[in-house]
C-alpha cells in the first residue's frame, strides 16, 4: 500500500488553455508537410495509437521488446511537430541518466536540431535539483546547496548517532541511512513517521534522529538524494502559486518505466499532474482538485524488479483508478525475440497473479529458430567452463562476443565466470557495480574541489583534512569542530581561526595553516584559472597525487589513471562549479563498443538491454529465486523474482541457455542444490533439456544417488531426472575431480596473459584484481599449468570416508579431499572445510 487515498479524483474533461506556437516553428513546418508525417511511418497500429493519443491520461503497457522507447520519443516528436507544445512545455522523466540521454538523442534525430532545449527531459532527481535550485529559499536552503551521496550521508548520520550518545555499533549508521531512504521513498517527513517505524531504530529514537539529520542537512546547506524528491513535494504542497506555475508550464507529462516509481515519485508526479479545478469554490482544500491531465506513463508491470528499493508496482496496477478515463494501450507485438523465447517467457510470467496481463507475440517466425536450452552442471565451476566453451564455439562460428551476455542473479556469481574467461583469454566486460565517482580517489579529489568551490562544505573538508596524512588526527578534527560549533561557522573558517591561536600543537598548527592557506590560494584562482588546470594544481599541491605515487600497492597506478580521467572529463564542463553540479547526479561510464567482449552483469542491470545470445546461470532454489527474497518478501518476493527471470529471458533475441548447478559454494561452504522452481514453469514446447556430454560432464558419473535428506520440497520436478545424474554424495570421483579442477583453474590464474582485455563499466573496486581503471584495459599472462600441479597433486594422508576428530568440531567423516583441505561432515557441527593438519584419525 502506498498510502494514498483514492479520493483525489481526476477528471479528464477540463481542457487546459493552449498556447499557439509561433509561425515558422516546427508546427508550421509539419503542417506544410500535410501528409502523415514521416516519423509515424513504420509504427504498428498500437504504437501509433500510443503516439497520437496525446490528450488525457494514457497508460502504455509496453511488454519487453515492443518498442517502448520508440513510442515515447515519437510521441514527443509528435507533440512538438503538431505544435501542441514547445519543447520547454514537456516534462519527460526517466530513472537513469542513460535513459534520459537516449531519449534526448532519439528525439533530436526525429525532429531535427529544433529540440535544442528539452530542458525538462531528465531523471526524477535531475529535474528535482532544477526545481529545488529555483525555490531553495522557500524551505530554508540557499540555491547553491550541495548534494550528498550515500557515503556523505552515512558519515553524517554516524556523527549524529554518536553525538546522541547511541552505540553506533549496535545501531549502525548504514542501517539508519537505509531506513531514512525508505522513509523518503515513501514521502514521509520526520513528523509522519509512525511510532512503530520510529521504534525500529535505537530504541524509539528513529524519528528524533531523522529530524536531527534533516536539521543538520539544513545547516550544512545540503540535501541527499531523497530530498531531491521530498523538498519539491513540500514546496508544491506549501506554495500553491509555485505549483500553479508548473501547472501552467507543463502541458504534457511523460514518464518512463512507470512500474519502477516509488511513492515519493508518484506523489511528485501527482502534484504536477493534478490541476486546480477552474470552478473550484473559494477556500476548497488542496484535496479538492481535478484535472485535465495530459500524462502518459509507459511501463511494464511484468518488469518491475525494484520493489526492494521502494518501487510500488501498485502505482501501475492502480493507474486507471488514479486517472479515471485513462486510456490503456497495450503493446504486445515483440520485435526482439524468437517465438520460442517469447513462449518460454510468457509461460513463466503467467504464474504471477498480480499483473495486468499481456501476451507477447511475434510475427517473425524462422524455421531455424532454436528452443530455449536448459543445461545441468555438476557444480558452478563446470557451469562456468561449459558456458565458456559454448561462447568459444559461437565465436568460432563468427558470432561477435558483443552479442552475448551472461546474466547472473547475484554478483558473487560473476567471479567464477571471470576466472574462466581469464583462463581462456576471452575478452569480457563487467557492467554495473560501484560507479566511477564512488571510488575513493575520485571522491577525495571531488572533496578538494568542493571545498575550493564552496568553503562551507564541511563534509568535504572533513573528508580530506588528513588526506594525505598531515598529522591532523581525530583530536585535531574534534578541536576544529568545537570551534566551528562555538562560533557557528564552517569548518574551514574555524580552522582559519584556530591557526591564529596558540591552542594547537605547533606541528599540527603549521600543517593546518598550510592547508588553509592552500585553500585560500586555490579559491583566489577559481575565477581566473581554467578549471581543469586548477584541478590539476590542487591535486598536485595538496600532495594528493604524491600520496598515490608513493603508494606501492597494486591499485595505486589505476587510481592515478582514474584521477587523470577525472580531469579529462572535466573538460566537458564550463567551470568547476558546473562540473560539481553534474557530477553528483551524472557520471556513468560509457561502454566501449570498440572492444569485442562478452557482457557480464546482474539481471537487474540487464533491464533494457538485448543480446543475440543470453546465458542465465544459477537457476537453483535459494539463489534464484533468492532465499532472502522468499524469506522477506513472501509471495510478493517470489513474484518479483519471477519477474526478474522474465526480464532475463526476454533479453535474448535468438539463443537462450539456462543453467543450473547441482553444487554451489555458498559462504565458503559447498552445498548441494535443487533446481529452481522456475525451470518447471517453462513450457515443454519451447524448451529443450540438454544432456551434457562435455569432457567433465555426464559420463562416468554414478547415477541415482539422491540426497536422502533433501527431497525436492516443491514436488516432483521434470528436472529431477537430470539433476539425479549429477547429485550424489561428496565421496564420488566426480566430486573430487571437480574439486581438483577447481584448484587447477584457481592456480592458473596466478599468472597473467597479455592480449586479453577486460573492461569494467562502472565497476571500480580497484583491488578486485582484473583491470584497475574505468574502462581500463589491462593485460594478463597465463604462464602455465605447472603452478597448478604443485598445489593439487600433494597427496593427502587421509582418505575419503575416513572417520576423524577435530579439536573444535568433534568427530566426523571425510567427505572430500582437496589438496590439504578436507571437507568433513561433522556429527554435530555439520559440514566444514578444514586443513588436514587439524584433524586426526579416530
Binding site residues, DNA, CB under 7 A: 95-98, 123, 125-126, 149-150, 169, 225, 308-309, 409-412, 432-433, 435, 466, 469, 471-476, 585, 588, 601-602, 604-605, 626, 628-629, 632, 667-668, 762, 765, 767, 833
Count how many residues are written for the chain.
Answer: 842
Nearer to DNA, 34 or 808 (CB): 808
3-state helix, strand, coil in the chain (%, to 5): 45, 15, 40
In angstroms, the CA 340 to CA 684 distance is 10
Could you tell me the smallest distance in angstroms from the CB atom of residue 328 to DNA? Answer: 27
The DSSP symbol for 202 reads G
Answer for the pair 556, 766: CB distance below 8 angstroms, yes or no.
Answer: no
Q: State the DSSP code for 753.
A: B
User: 686, 823, 26, 18: which is closest to 379 by C-alpha?
Assistant: 823
Please report how close the Cβ of residue 426 comes to DNA at its closest, in angstroms.
Answer: 21
Nearer to DNA, 149 or 197 (CB): 149
457 is catalytic: no
Rounded-to-integer distance, Cα 421 and Cα 410, Å: 18
Tell me which of 256, 381, 441, 444 is the catalytic residue: 256
Active-site entry in 46, 48, 68, 146: 68
Nearer Cβ to DNA, position 123 or 599? 123
Please say if 744 is a catalytic residue.
no
810 forms bridges with which residues in the sheet? 806
Q: Annotated catalytic, 594? A: no
CA-angle at 718, arms to 717 and 724, nearest 5° = 85
Residue 607 bears catalytic tag: no
The DSSP code sequence of 694-737 is: STTSSTTPPP----TT---TT---TTHHHHHHH---TTSHHHHH
The H-or-E segment that residue 54 falls in is none
Annotated catalytic residue 651: yes
Q: Which of 89, 261, 303, 823 is catalytic?
A: 303
Q: Where are the beta strands (DSSP E) in 240-371?
A: 252-255, 295-299, 327-331
**Residue partners of 300: CB distance under 8 A and separation at least 6:** 61, 62, 63, 64, 68, 259, 358
DSSP state for residue 505 in the 8-state scheme:
-
- H helices within 255-366, ranges in order? 263-273, 313-317, 319-322, 339-349
Can 68 be counted among the known catalytic residues? yes
- Name the nearest CA neighbour of 304 among 571, 26, 645: 645
Q: Is residue 252 a contact partner of residue 19, using CB atoms and an 8 Å limit? A: no
Nearest CB to DNA, comparing residues 111 and 515: 515
Q: Are 312 and 640 in contact (CB under 8 A)?
A: no
Binding residues for ATP: 62-69
283: left (phi over 0), alpha (psi -120 to 50) or beta: left
Contacts of 328 (CB under 8 A, 6+ apart): 58, 59, 61, 319, 320
- Based on CB atoms, which residue is closest to DNA, 263 or 274? 263
Beta bridge partners of 94: 123
Q: Kindly name the residue from 53, 54, 69, 440 that is annotated as catalytic.
A: 69
Which residue among the candidates 257, 381, 403, 416 is catalytic per the annotation?
Answer: 257
Q: Which residues are catalytic?
A: 68-69, 256-257, 303, 651
Amino acid at each position: 500500500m502506498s498510502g494514498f487515498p483514492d479520493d483525489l479524483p481526476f477528471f479528464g474533461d477540463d481542457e487546459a488553455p493552449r498556447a499557439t506556437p509561433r509561425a515558422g516553428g516546427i508546427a508550421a513546418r509539419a503542417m506544410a508537410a500535410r501528409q502523415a508525417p514521416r516519423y509515424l511511418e513504420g509504427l504498428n497500429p498500437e504504437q501509433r495509437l500510443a503516439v497520437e493519443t496525446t490528450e488525457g491520461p494514457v497508460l502504455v503497457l509496453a511488454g519487453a521488446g515492443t518498442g517502448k522507447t520508440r513510442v515515447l520519443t515519437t510521441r514527443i516528436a509528435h507533440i512538438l511537430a503538431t505544435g501542441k507544445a514547445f519543447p520547454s512545455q514537456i516534462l519527460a522523466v526517466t530513472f537513469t541518466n542513460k535513459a534520459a540521454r537516449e531519449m534526448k538523442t532519439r528525439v533530436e534525430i526525429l525532429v531535427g536540431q529544433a529540440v535544442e532545449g528539452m530542458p525538462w527531459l531528465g531523471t526524477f532527481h535531475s529535474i528535482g535539483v532544477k526545481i529545488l535550485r529555483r525555490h531553495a529559499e522557500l524551505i530554508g536552503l540557499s540555491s547553491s546547496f550541495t548534494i550528498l551521496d550515500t557515503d556523505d550521508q552515512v558519515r553524517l548520520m554516524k556523527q549524529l548517532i554518536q553525538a546522541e550518545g547511541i552505540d553506533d555499533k549496535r545501531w549502525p549508521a548504514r542501517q539508519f541511512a537505509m531506513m531514512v531512504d525508505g522513509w523518503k521513498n515513501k514521502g514521509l517527513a520526520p513528523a509522519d513517521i509512525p511510532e512503530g517505524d520510529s521504534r525500529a531504530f535505537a530504541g524509539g529514537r528513529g524519528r528524533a534522529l531523522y529530524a536531527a539529520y534533516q536539521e543538520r542537512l539544513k545547516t550544512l546547506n545540503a540535501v541527499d538524494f531523497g530530498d531531491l524528491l521530498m523538498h519539491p513535494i513540500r514546496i508544491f504542497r506549501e506554495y500553491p502559486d509555485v505549483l500553479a506555475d508548473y501547472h501552467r508550464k507543463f502541458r504534457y507529462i511523460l514518464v518512463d518505466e512507470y512500474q519502477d516509481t516509488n511513492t515519493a515519485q508518484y506523489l511528485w508526479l501527482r502534484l504536477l499532474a493534478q490541476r486546480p479545478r477552474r470552478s473550484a469554490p473559494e477556500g476548497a482544500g488542496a484535496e479538492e482538485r481535478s484535472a485535465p491531465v495530459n500524462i502518459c506513463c509507459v511501463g511494464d508491470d511484468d518488469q518491475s524488479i525494484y520493489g526492494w528499493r521502494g518501487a510500488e508496482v501498485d502505482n501501475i496496477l492502480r493507474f486507471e483508478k488514479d486517472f479515471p478515463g485513462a486510456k490503456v494501450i497495450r503493446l504486445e507485438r515483440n520485435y526482439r525475440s524468437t517465438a520460442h523465447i517469447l513462449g518460454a517467457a510468457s509461460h513463466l510470467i503467467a504464474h504471477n497473479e498480480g499483473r495486468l496481463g499481456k501476451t507477447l507475440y511475434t510475427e517473425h517466425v524462422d524455421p531455424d529458430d532454436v528452443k530455449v536450452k536448459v543445461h545441468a552442471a555438476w557444480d558452478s565451476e563446470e557451469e562456468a567452463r561449459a558456458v565458456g566453451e559454448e561462447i568459444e564455439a559461437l565465436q568460432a562460428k563468427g558470432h561477435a562476443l558483443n552479442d552475448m551476455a551472461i546474466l547472473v542473479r547475484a554478483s558473487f556469481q560473476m567471479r567464477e565466470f571471470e576466472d574462466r574467461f581469464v583462463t581462456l583469454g576471452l575478452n569480457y566486460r563487467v557492467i554495473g557495480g560501484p560507479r566511477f565517482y564512488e571510488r575513493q580517489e575520485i571522491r577525495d579529489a571531488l572533496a578538494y574541489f568542493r571545498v575550493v568551490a564552496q568553503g562551507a562544505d564541511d563534509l568535504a573538508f572533513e573528508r580530506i583534512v588528513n588526506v594525505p596524512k598531515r598529522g591532523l588526527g581525530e583530536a585535531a578534527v574534534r578541536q576544529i569542530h568545537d570551534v566551528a560549533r562555538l562560533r557557528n561557522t564552517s569548518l574551514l573558517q574555524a580552522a582559519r581561526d584556530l591557526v591564529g591561536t596558540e591552542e594547537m600543537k605547533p606541528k599540527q598548527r603549521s600543517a593546518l595553516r598550510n592547508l588553509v592557506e592552500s585553500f585560500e590560494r586555490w579559491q583566489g584562482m577559481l575565477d581566473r584559472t581554467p578549471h581543469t588546470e586548477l584541478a590539476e594544481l590542487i591535486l598536485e599541491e595538496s600532495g594528493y597525487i604524491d600520496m598515490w605515487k608513493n603508494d606501492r600497492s597494486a591499485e595505486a597506478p589505476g587510481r592515478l589513471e582514474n584521477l587523470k580521467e577525472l580531469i579529462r572529463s572535466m573538460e566537458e564542463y564550463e567551470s568547476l562549479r558546473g562540473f560539481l553540479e553534474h557530477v553528483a547526479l551524472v557520471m556513468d561510464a560509457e561502454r566501449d563498443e570498440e572492444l569485442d567482449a562478452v557482457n557480464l552483469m546482474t539481471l537487474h542491470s540487464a533491464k533494457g538491454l538485448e543480446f543475440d545470445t543470453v546465458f542465465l546461470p544459477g537457476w537453483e532454489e535459494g539463489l534464484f529465486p533468492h532465499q532472502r527474497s522468499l524469506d522477506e518478501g513472501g509471495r510478493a518476493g517470489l513474484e518479483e523474482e519471477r519477474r526478474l527471470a522474465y526480464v532475463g529471458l526476454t533479453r535474448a533475441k535468438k539463443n537462450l541457455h539456462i543453467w543450473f548447478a547441482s553444487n554451489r559454494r555458498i559462504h565458503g561452504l559447498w552445498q548441494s542444490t535443487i533446481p529452481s522452481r522456475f525451470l518447471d514453469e517453462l513450457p515443454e514446447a519451447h524448451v529443450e533439456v540438454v544432456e551434457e556430454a562435455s569432457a567433465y560432464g555426464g559420463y562416468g558419473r554414478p547415477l541415482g544417488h539422491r540426497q536422502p535428506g533433501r527431497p525436492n520440497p516443491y514436488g516432483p520436478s521434470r528436472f529431477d531426472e537430470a539433476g539425479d545424474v549429477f547429485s550424489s554424495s561428496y565421496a564420488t570421483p566426480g566430486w573430487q575431480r571437480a574439486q581438483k579442477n577447481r584448484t587447477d583453474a584457481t592456480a592458473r590464474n596466478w599468472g597473467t596473459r597479455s592480449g586479453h582485455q577486460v573492461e569494467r563499466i562502472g565497476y571500480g573496486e580497484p583491488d578486485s584484481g582484473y583491470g584497475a581503471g574505468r574502462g581500463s584495459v589491462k593485460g594478463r599472462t597465463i604462464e602455465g599449468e605447472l603452478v597448478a600441479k604443485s598445489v593439487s597433486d600433494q597427496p593427502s594422508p587421509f582418505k575419503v570416508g575416513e572417520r576423524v576428530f577435530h579439536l573444535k568440531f568433534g568427530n566426523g567423516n571425510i567427505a572430500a579431499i582437496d589438496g590439504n583441505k578436507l571437507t568433513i561432515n561433522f556429527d554435530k557441527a555439520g559440514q566444514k572445510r578444514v586443513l588436514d593438519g587439524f584433524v586426526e584419525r579416530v
